[in-house]
Structure 1
Amino acid sequence: MIERLAMIGVFSGVLICVSGAVVADGSSQIPDLGPRPEFAPVDPVAAELGQLLFYDPILSGNRNISCASCHHPRFGTGDGVSLSLGEGAAILGAGRRVNPDNVPEQRIPRNAPSLWNLGAEGMNVMFHDGRLEADPAYEAGIRTPLEGDMVAGFDSALSAQAMFPVLSADEMAGHYGENDISRAVRLGQLSHPGGAWDLIAARVAEVAAYRQRFDEVIGTNEPIRFTDIGNMLAAFIRFEWRADDSPFDRAMMGHGDLPVAAARGQALFYGVAGCSACHSGWLQTDNAFYAIAMPQLGPGKAARFETHARDDGRLRVTGDPADAYRFRTPSLRNVALTAPYGHSGAYATLEAVVRHHLDPVTGLDAYDRSQIVLPTLAGAYDWVVMDDQVERDRIAAANDLAPVVLNERDLADLVAFLGVLTDSAAAAGRLGVPETVPSGLPVEH
């Protein structure tokens, strides 16, 4: 029998009440979550500048897509679709449509990840496969796909990751020959002098209003470098999408109780359901990598000379066969706002993706394709892997999760618990979407 009570504990030198689930023998089902998340102070001028850059299409090769096109607050800092259409498409969310005069080459291979709490200390692993992460062994302090071509000056892994989408032809750079940035990318001129990053920085510097705002942050007439743009974007993300005041936070700190169903779900999450083995700590992530037999759709993750449509996940970063089909544990903060779910956006609802976690291989075999949210792209064959039994068997064989047996009420309770991880104030936004941006280009609202 599970009983509810409040445990008094000392946390970071402060006496707090932790709302926990306790079993009959008196042992807590809620582990020590460690120190509360900390966030570096943010210069408000830098955050406001980053806000404008985030929503400004000036950073894209054809000046037609912004960071917000795939990471919009209307969709919980995602884009509301399973796999994005970036360059060559318009309109936010499920209504996104292809520009017939500039058709995308392919869908973006992975679901647009949410941006919640990426500015928290310790959140140093970026992207679904962790191909960018803080690493003091590297001169720039960050390990990235650029390896030796990575430049110093980014103030964090968050700052560096914010700038890689602009190098992707499918995301923001554009197709080869369409603009100076896409040509530089195709030629491999990225961080080099006069390369894609320098070209984007020069664009921004030419806008008087941006030049004035950068003067306030980096110093009058100091050259605007690409790294400065990344740092401003990181400041905005760190400020705007800090989510650490949910009903879960308040209950854990003794400022109220969770609803009954959510409290039961919390006990399951930290107990027999085993969710916290990976979704640990205050932000519910260990930033590690696991294979969970997630259904694979879309073009896959392959180099240009490869012809397969599979997504090997972490394997493409480490080269270790043991990392095949492993992907980073996402934070669950504001997860109720960020559908679709999974690195491939395979699941449309929280209930569906939780059900998959309880028995991944069965979930893969019985996957319902009707739930995907995919804007139409003529000629796209999205089911190459799922239609191939050999490929599905590979995904299933790599699975790390043992089945967990729960009843339907348990499942509903887990979903209720995930709902109380929502920070409504953060979801509403602090700076919000600007009406206009200094370039004068359209802002997607």
Structure 2
Amino acid sequence: MLPVMAQANDLPAPLTADQFHPSDPEKARIGQLLFYDKILSGNRNISCGTCHHHDLGGTDGLSLGIGEGGVGLGPKRTAGVGEDRIRKRIPRNAAALWNIGHKSITNIFHDGRLSISDLYGNGFNSPAEEWLPQGLDNITAAQALFPLTAQFEMAGNPKENEIAGAVHDRIDAAWPIIAKRVRAIPEYADMFAAAFDEINDPQDLTIVQIGNALGAFINSEWQSHDSPFDAYLINQTPLSEPAQRGMDLFYGKANCASCHSGPLFTDQKFHALGLPAFGPGRTRRFDPMPRDVGRMGESDALEDAYRFRTPPLRNVALTAPYGHNGAFPTLERMIQHHINPTASRKIWTRDMANLPEAPWLQAIDFTIQSDTREMARQNRVLDITPIALTPNDIADLESFLHSLTGSSGNKRPLGRPNSVPSGIIVD
């Protein structure tokens, strides 16, 4: 049986540059330097770019990242040694940054814990609640501030540095310390004064301008709307035959577009896919189990348990591994899981997870799988109805997903800087 052809009214409208938050080039240039400058981290040993690197499609190529204390880049990154070694893996896969500057984005992170809202009077509902400062330009600028305060991502451990200690007191206590570090570097102080009208003196530089500079960079740098699929939408340039068949499946029998909808291929909602469980979990103070309850960790609503945000799919072929915990190393494996999650879990093996060696952590990497009650709870929550697809169908779907890769790929407007004003070596 041939797949039903995708109809024009099934397809999204073309993605264009005017749909994104505008970015001032001077601010974006500052943001590029800050993105790769380890001065923003507690121990000056990790940057945003370490886990969202240009050479790795804006990610780190790992299932669960190696954050503060690690050494190296991407799949070759090690967990550190001695007193500096990591104390915990990053609980979730480093999400790609592609197109998060689109004006339609209303929430960010796998659990949506940052969203646009008037609840706290600063434009956002976030982990910082009313302590998130006002004046952030958009959700990307707000998002950029939170890895800086995360212990295992960039802040470091309490007693190691003043930023980590401040976060331990209250999340917003760290941001003035970071801003002070940046404005103490003359090159940054001059660049901020030139780019931001509200800065007349270095003392005027706050975490707000730092967030807005990072946001300007991310919003402009990681735009992608020049893929073969875009050429098909705009000019009816034919896709390859396998990609065309895959598109028909995507919008038809395979029902992928029921969640991966719109120009970004995400409904921005939360769904349970039943991924294999592993890693340290995103634990809460009252729940130390190494599990990840997904959206429920933000909402405290039981109906949100084990549900995660639908990831956008543009440039997805550049951002392996896949899933909120990076459980699957290839698109083929991830598609197979969507077809039949229960069968997929049964054949999943631990070596599919790309976890850099850390012997002192390996005892807990898969310990959650021995908790039969927790596994039963997770297995009961599933928002996917199994369907029957042939191996050829899977290959065609994968071809279509490759057609979402921008022709510019990893060739970004600014790219990775060779050096940064702090003088710290760039990853």
Q: Is the alpha carbon distance of 1:256 and 1:29 closer, same or farther for their aligned partners in structure 2, counting shifts above 3 Å?
A: closer
CA–CA separation in structure 1 for the residues paired with 2:312 and 2:386: 22
1:78 aligns with 2:59: yes
- Unmatched runs of 5 consecutive residues or more in structure 1: 4-20
Of 211, 217, 228, the match for 1:247 = 228
Instruction: Please list, as runs of the form range in 1=range in 2, the aligned pairs for 1:19-418 lying within 5 A after superposition.
Output: 22=5, 28=7, 31-34=10-13, 36=15, 38-101=19-82, 102-188=84-170, 190-191=171-172, 195-219=173-197, 220-221=200-201, 223-380=204-361, 381-418=364-401
Q: How many residues align?
A: 419
Identity rate, percent = 43
Deviations 1:59-93 (A, max 9, x none): 00011100011111111111000001101101011
CA contact (8 A) 2:122 2:130 kept: no
TM-score if structure 2 supplies the norm length?
0.95
CA contact (8 A) 2:91 2:325 kept: yes
Provide the aligned C-alpha RMSD in A.
1.6
Once superposed, which parts of structure 1, at least 4 consecutive aligned residues long, lie more than 6 Å away?
none
- SS of the equivalent of 1:22 reads coil
CA contact (8 A) 1:56 1:441 kept: yes
- SS of the equivalent of 1:272 reads coil
Cα drift, residue 185 of structure 1: 1.1
Deviations 1:98-127 (A, max 9, x none): 221312110010000000000011112110
What amino acid does structure 1 have at the position aligned with 2:201?
N
CA contact (8 A) 2:14 2:234 kept: no
Cα drift, residue 305 of structure 1: 4.8
Greater mean alpha carbon deviation, residues 161-170 or residues 147-156 = 147-156
- SS of the equivalent of 2:235 reads coil
- SS of the equivalent of 1:331 reads coil
Greater mean alpha carbon deviation, residues 397-406 or residues 302-311 = 302-311
1:437 aligns with 2:420: yes
Deviations 1:212-246 (A, max 9, x none): 11011213326111011111011001111101110
Cα drift, residue 22 of structure 1: 3.2
CA contact (8 A) 1:360 1:403 kept: yes
- SS of the equivalent of 1:79 reads coil
Cα drift, residue 40 of structure 1: 2.3
- SS of the equivalent of 2:115 reads strand
CA contact (8 A) 1:65 1:86 kept: yes
What amino acid does structure 2 have at the position aligned with 1:403?
P
Cα drift, residue 426 of structure 1: 4.4
Give the structure with the higher percent helix. 2
CA contact (8 A) 2:192 2:205 kept: yes
CA–CA separation in structure 1 for the residues paired with 2:169 and 2:81: 26
TM-score if structure 1 supplies the norm length?
0.91
CA–CA separation in structure 2 for the residues paired with 1:257 and 1:137: 46
CA contact (8 A) 2:12 2:263 kept: yes
Deviations 1:249-276 (A, max 9, x none): 0011125110000000000000000000
- SS of the equivalent of 2:405 reads coil
CA–CA separation in structure 2 for the residues paired with 1:279 and 1:165: 26
Give the structure with the higher percent strand. 1
- Unmatched runs of 5 consecutive residues or more in structure 2: none
CA contact (8 A) 1:113 1:127 kept: yes
CA–CA separation in structure 1 for the residues paired with 2:328 and 2:407: 23
CA contact (8 A) 2:60 2:73 kept: yes
- SS of the equivalent of 2:408 reads helix
CA–CA separation in structure 2 for the residues paired with 1:257 and 1:307: 52
CA–CA separation in structure 2 for the residues paired with 1:265 and 1:308: 40
What amino acid does structure 1 have at the position aligned with 2:109?
F
- SS of the equivalent of 1:133 reads strand
Deviations 1:388-441 (A, max 9, x none): 332222111110110011000000000000001001314211101101000000
What amino acid does structure 1 have at the position aligned with 2:299?
T
Q: Counterpart in 2 of 1:10?
A: none
Cα drift, residue 34 of structure 1: 4.2
What amino acid does structure 1 have at the position aligned with 2:12?
L
